[in-house]
Amino acid sequence: MVKDINAEEYEQIKDSKNTVVIDFHATWCGPCKILSPILEELQGEMNDVEFVKLDVDQFPEISGANQVMGVPTVVILKDGEIKERFVGVQPKEVIKEKILAIS
């Protein structure tokens, strides 16, 4: 299961040298529920990538700092920089290609 992080954990991972995939989601969001198992599958396949979730309703300041305007928004970080972002549900293969292009 992809870990739901809090503000402290976000501060720890946002500057990671590794590739980090952050799923900005909300509990009431239908598409978020569709995206979640896709990211869980990818987490099982991609051992060198960290996958986390962050609830936009609990942490609006972090969501705003990452320019999250809709959910789900996925932000892919590498070396502490946003390398890729997308809004909405994407096919597993498309997400994997985006991550591999950065890693």
Dist CA 63 CA 79 (whole Å): 19
Catalytic residue among 20, 32, 38, 99: 32
32 is catalytic: yes
29 is catalytic: yes
**Which tokens hold the place of 25?**
């989601």
Q: Are 41 and 32 in contact (CB under 8 A)?
A: no
DSSP annotation of 86: E
Catalytic residue among 2, 5, 20, 29: 29
Place of tokens 């946002």: 14
User: In the chain, at which residue ranges do the beta strands (DSSP E only) sit?
Assistant: 3-4, 19-25, 49-55, 73-78, 81-87
Catalytic residues, which ones? Answer: 29, 32
